[in-house]
Structure 1
Amino acid sequence: MNKTDRLLAIVLELQGRRVVRAEDLAARFETSVRTIYRDIQALSEAGVPITGTTGRGYSLMEGYFLPPISFTIEEAVSLLIGVDFIEQRFDDDYRDRANAARRKIEAILSDSVRSETSRIRKSLRLLAPRKQAAPSNEKENLDKIRRALLNGRKIRFYYSKGISDSSGSRHNERTAAPYGLVLVEGAWMLVARCDLRQDIRHFRLSRMTELIELDERFELPGHFDLRQYIPLDDRHLRVCLRFNHDIADKVKESNFHYIEDMKEHQDGLDVVLRVRQLDELLQWVLGWGAGVIVMEPESFRNRIREEAQNILKRY
C-alpha cells in the first residue's frame, strides 16, 4: 500500500471508530508506529482535524467527514446487502475484498445514518444457499475461471453432463475460451467458446473437474457483449402436462425454467414446457407423483409409464 492510499485508509479508519491507537493503526496497515506518527502529522498539515490523547490514541474532530462521499440510508443498505451477497456467492478473494469494502462503507457513514442503516439491515436477511449433500467445487472453479478471464487465457476441464450423449458418455474433456460468468437461479454458469463444438456453449461450474488455466491466449470477439448476449433457444420438443388442483399453486411457485405457458381450468392446471431432450423432464415430472399426467407427446407418456413400472418392481 502506497502512502496516499494509506493516508486515505487512516482517515476512513478514524471515521469508523471513536479512538484508535497508533499501535493498532500500525498493525492494521503493516507498518511501523513511527510511520503512523508521520502519517498523522501529514494529515494534520493537510487540514484533517485529528486530535491525539496521550495513552488513548487518535480521533477525528466531531462532525468531520471525508467529502465528497456520502450515502443515504437506502443507498448504504443497498451497498451492504450487495456485500453480503458477494460474501456468500463468490470465491475467497472476492469475499476478502467485500469485507474491506464493508469497512470503508461503514466508516464514511455519519453516526445517525450508520445507526439507522444497522437497524434496517437487522430486519432483512439474505439466506445462504442450502448446503449440498456432496461437496461442490463451484467456488474453486469460479476463482480459476475469473483469473483466466482476466488473463485472457483458455481453460481445460472435464465436464459431466446431466444426460448422456449419443455415444452414451456423460464425461468428456473440453477446452474453451471463457467469455463470461452468469449466476442463473443460484448456480454459476460459464459462457465460453468450446473448441470441440466450435461455438458458444454453456457449462455449469459445479459439473467441472480438473480445471486448469492454459498458456494459450484468446481474444474476446469485438461484437460479443455478455450483457446483451441472448443464447440460441434450441428447445424444440413440446410437452404438455396436467396437474391436479391441489398442487397447482406449488407448481406455479416452482418457477421451473422449462415452463413456457400455464392455464388453469376446471380439470386442473395445464402446463406447456419446451425442452431439448425429454429426459430433461423425467425426474421433475416423477417428483409430482400421481398429481400430474402427461398429455403429450405419447412417447413421453410411455417413458413415464415404463419408469413407474420399474419403480414398482423395486418395491
Structure 2
Amino acid sequence: MNKTDRQLAIMLELQRSKVLRAEDLASLFETSVRTVYRDIQALSEMGIPIIGAPGQGYSLMEGYFLPPIGFSAEEAVALLMGTDFIEQRLDGDYKQMARTARRKIEAILPEPVRVESTRVRETMRLLHSSEPITDLREKDYVGQIRHAILERRKLSFTYRKKMPEGDGNRSSKREVAPYGLVFAQGNWIVMARCDLRGDIRHFRLSRMTELALLDERFVLPAGFNLNQYRPPDDRNERVLIRAHPEWMDRIIETANFYIESAEERVEGMIVQFRVRSPEELLYLILGWGGEVEVLEPESLRRRVREEAEKMWKRY
C-alpha cells in the first residue's frame, strides 16, 4: 500500500472506529508506529481535524465526515458480486436489499468505472455445479431462523439425520435456541443449543422440515461469539483405504474434510480418514469405484461388500 492509499485508509478507519491508537493503525496496515505518526502529521497539515488524546489514541473531530469515496473498477466488481451472492443465497428480504444496494452502487459509479466494472463482471460468474443450490424453501428457512436469532426466540423442527440413531430412526423432533447461521461448503447450517441433547449442535437446513418459531425466549451465553466459536472435533473413528494415485484428486474433492493423512507407497496411496462413524464414508467409497479398497475397519469393508452385492443383484 502506497503512502496516499494508507493515509486515506487511516481516515476511513478513524471515521469507522472513532478512536484508535497509533499501535493499532500500525498493526492494521503492517507498518511502523513512526510511519503512522508521520501520516497523522501529514493529514493534519492537509486540514483533516484529527485529535490526539494521550493514552487513548487518535480520533476525528466530532461532526466531521469524509466526502463520498469513489470506487475503482475492481472494488466495484467485488461489491457487485457480493450482492449477486446474497441474492442467490439469502432469504427474500435480503434478496430485495441486495438488488437495491446493487442499483445504488451502479448509480454512483462514474461512467468509465461503471463500464469497466461491467466488462470485468461479464468475465466472471458464480456457479454452483459442485454445490447444492439454495432452494426457495431453504431460503425461507434462512429468513425465519435469522429473525429467531435476532429476537432470541426458540425454534422447533423435525430433523432427518444422515445416519440412523441407535433405535434405527433417522428423524426426530427438536427444540433449539439458535445462536447463529453459517454457510459452509454450499450448505446453510444453524448452530443452536439443542434441548434434546443439552449442548450446541449443528443442523443443516436442507434436512429440516416443519420449522416453526416458538414464543419461548432464550438468553445467549455470556461472551458467545459466532466468529470465534470452534466446535469440538468428535471425529474419533479411523478409516484406512488404498487408492490408485490418479484417483486422489477426486477423493480430495469429495472428502477433503475427513482426510487426516495420505502417503504414497508401492501398492498405491494409503489414505487415512477421521470420522464420527465409518458409514459416513460408505457412499463416497462406493462412488469412487473399483480403484479404491477399504483396509480398515472390517465393519466398513463388510458394508461396502454388502452394498456391492445388492448392486450386482439389481443390475
Q: Give the deviation of 1:153 after TM superposition.
A: 0.5
- Looking at structure 1, the residues matched to 255 and 276 of structure 2 have their Cα atoms a distance apart, in angstroms, of 18
Aligned to 1:176: 176
* Structure 1 position 98 matched with structure 2 position 98: yes
Q: Give the deviation of 1:251 after TM superposition.
A: 2.1
Q: Give the deviation of 1:239 after TM superposition.
A: 0.4
Please list the CA deviations of residues 134-165 of structure 1 after superposition, one character each: whole Å capped at 9, or x if unmatched.
97721121111011111110111111111110
AA partner of residue 114 (structure 2): R
Task: From the superposition, tell whether residues 134 and 99 of structure 1 become closer, same or farther in structure 2 (CA, over 3 Å).
Answer: closer
Aligned to 1:272: 272
AA partner of residue 90 (structure 1): L
Please list the CA deviations of residues 170-222 of structure 1 after superposition, one character each: whole Å capped at 9, or x if unmatched.
11110000000001100000100001111000000011111011111111112
AA partner of residue 161 (structure 1): K
Aligned to 1:189: 189
Aligned to 1:142: 142
- Is the deviation greater in 249-258 or in 86-95? 249-258
AA partner of residue 280 (structure 1): E
CA contact (8 A) 1:69 1:108 kept: no
Q: Give the deviation of 1:274 after TM superposition.
A: 0.8
- Looking at structure 2, the residues matched to 72 and 135 of structure 1 have their Cα atoms a distance apart, in angstroms, of 34
Task: From the superposition, tell whether residues 94 and 134 of structure 1 become closer, same or farther in structure 2 (CA, over 3 Å).
Answer: closer
Q: State TM-score, norm by structure 1.
A: 0.75
- Looking at structure 2, the residues matched to 133 and 101 of structure 1 have their Cα atoms a distance apart, in angstroms, of 23
- Looking at structure 2, the residues matched to 284 and 86 of structure 1 have their Cα atoms a distance apart, in angstroms, of 30
- Is the deviation greater in 164-173 or in 258-267? 258-267
Please list the CA deviations of residues 78-113 of structure 1 after superposition, one character each: whole Å capped at 9, or x if unmatched.
111101111111111111000000011111111111
**Equivalent residues, number:** 250
Unaligned runs of 5+ in 1: 1-65
Please list the CA deviations of residues 267-292 of structure 1 after superposition, one character each: whole Å capped at 9, or x if unmatched.
22221111111111110111111110
Q: What is the CA RMSD across the aligned residues, in angstroms? A: 2.1
AA partner of residue 288 (structure 1): W
Aligned to 1:261: 261
Please list the CA deviations of residues 7-38 of structure 1 after superposition, one character each: whole Å capped at 9, or x if unmatched.
xxxxxxxxxxxxxxxxxxxxxxxxxxxxxxxx
AA partner of residue 263 (structure 1): E
Task: From the superposition, tell whether residues 225 and 136 of structure 1 become closer, same or farther in structure 2 (CA, over 3 Å).
Answer: same
Q: Secondary structure of 2:227's partner?
A: coil
CA contact (8 A) 1:295 1:301 kept: yes
Task: From the superposition, tell whether residues 167 and 213 of structure 1 become closer, same or farther in structure 2 (CA, over 3 Å).
Answer: same
- Looking at structure 1, the residues matched to 250 and 169 of structure 2 have their Cα atoms a distance apart, in angstroms, of 35
Aligned to 1:226: 226
CA contact (8 A) 1:155 1:175 kept: yes
- Looking at structure 1, the residues matched to 134 and 312 of structure 2 have their Cα atoms a distance apart, in angstroms, of 28
Aligned to 2:108: 108
Query: Percent identity of the aligned residues?
Result: 52
Aligned to 1:48: none
- Looking at structure 1, the residues matched to 129 and 92 of structure 2 have their Cα atoms a distance apart, in angstroms, of 16
Q: State TM-score, norm by structure 2.
A: 0.75
Aligned to 2:292: 292
Q: Which has the larger radius of gyration?
A: 1
Aligned to 1:19: none
CA contact (8 A) 1:88 1:128 kept: no
- Looking at structure 2, the residues matched to 256 and 168 of structure 1 have their Cα atoms a distance apart, in angstroms, of 28
AA partner of residue 117 (structure 1): S
Unaligned runs of 5+ in 2: 1-65
CA contact (8 A) 1:91 1:142 kept: yes
AA partner of residue 286 (structure 2): L
- Looking at structure 1, the residues matched to 67 and 136 of structure 2 have their Cα atoms a distance apart, in angstroms, of 44
Aligned to 2:68: 68
- Looking at structure 2, the residues matched to 131 and 244 of structure 1 have their Cα atoms a distance apart, in angstroms, of 26
AA partner of residue 123 (structure 1): T
